Amino acid sequence: MSRIKTILFLFFVGTISLTSISWNTNNITTNPIVDSFNTYSQDLYKELNTPELQYDVFEYALKGFLQIHQNSNLKKTTILSIIDMSKSSNTERFFIIDIKNKQVLHKSIVAHGQNSGFEFAKNFSNKINSHKTSLGFYKTAETYFGKHGLSLRLDGLEYSNNNARKRAIVIHAADYVSDAFIKNNGRLGRSWGCPSLPKKDYNKIIEKIKEESILFIYYPNLEYLNSSKLVKNNISNSFKYTS
């Protein structure tokens, strides 16, 4: 009988995987429990209530964000920015998410590289002087003032974008990223590969995401999706997120 009880106990333990997510802010700690990454991801997506952001894009971004968070000492551990390059450049496709508070802090249009496409981005590259957008996860870095004014440097974290520094791929504001430009030209303007943003509220945006937050640039490119360790790794059984 004792042997049967032992077997049943081991079976019970092996079939349940609960995850503790700890938030440490102002000496207040809560520990909500979820039964899997999938449940956590789906519940968080519902809380965000932003249908413009596709769920599968959000899920890829969240999966990579959690893995980077576990393996790095980020200064900004609750901010995740997502750019969905599968959408028209004339629509809102840049999202800043506060993971801890389950809020979308900002959404806007954003430009892609001039050699990536016209209204829609279709071609991507990590090569210097390609003037194309690079896919994957980035870490935001320091700010500086250049020809576009206040700009935010980006460090690519994957094979698909690790030339970001060498290519001077940064976030900056531009006149060609505006509703007026779309109205006059039928599409948004394009950059040399930088995710350029509108000038409205630009300084506030940079303040939110600068200095070690995570940015994910997505497109349903099979070569990238099948090669990226950050979107391929299965973390559905267990994960830990402490902020």
Per-residue confidence (pLDDT) for residue 30, from 0 to 100:
36
Burial classification of residue 27, based on how many CB atoms lie within 10 Å of its CB (0-12 exposed, 13-18 middle, 19 or more buried): exposed
Per-residue confidence (pLDDT) for residue 11, from 0 to 100:
37
Distance CA 188, CA 182 (A): 5
Per-residue confidence (pLDDT) for residue 21, from 0 to 100:
40
pLDDT top residue among 76 and 16 = 76
In 110-180, the DSSP E strands lie at 136-146, 149-156, 170-172
Distance CA 170, CA 193 (A): 9
Distance CA 191, CA 175 (A): 11
Per-residue confidence (pLDDT) for residue 66, from 0 to 100:
94
pLDDT of 65 strictly over 60: yes
Domain 18-233, second-level architecture? Beta Barrel (2.40)
H-only helix segments in the chain: 2-15, 37-48, 55-71, 164-167, 179-185, 202-209, 222-227, 229-232
Confidence of residue 72 (pLDDT cuts 50, 70, 90): confident
Apex CA 99: angle with CA 152 and CA 218, to 5°? 55
Per-residue confidence (pLDDT) for residue 6, from 0 to 100:
43
Per-residue confidence (pLDDT) for residue 33, from 0 to 100:
42
**Region of poorest pLDDT, from 25-29, 158-162, 227-231, 233-237:** 25-29
Instruction: Give residue-wise pLDDT tens across range 24-41.
Output: 433 333 334 445 888 999
Confidence of residue 15 (pLDDT cuts 50, 70, 90): very low
Distances (CA, A) of 155 to 112, 151, 208: 17, 13, 17
Question: Global pTM?
Answer: 0.85
Average pLDDT of span 179-193 = 97
**Mean pLDDT score of the chain:** 87
Apex CA 158: angle with CA 56 and CA 141, to 5°? 100
The ranges assigned to domains in the chain are 18-233
* Residue bearing tokens 């994910």: 216
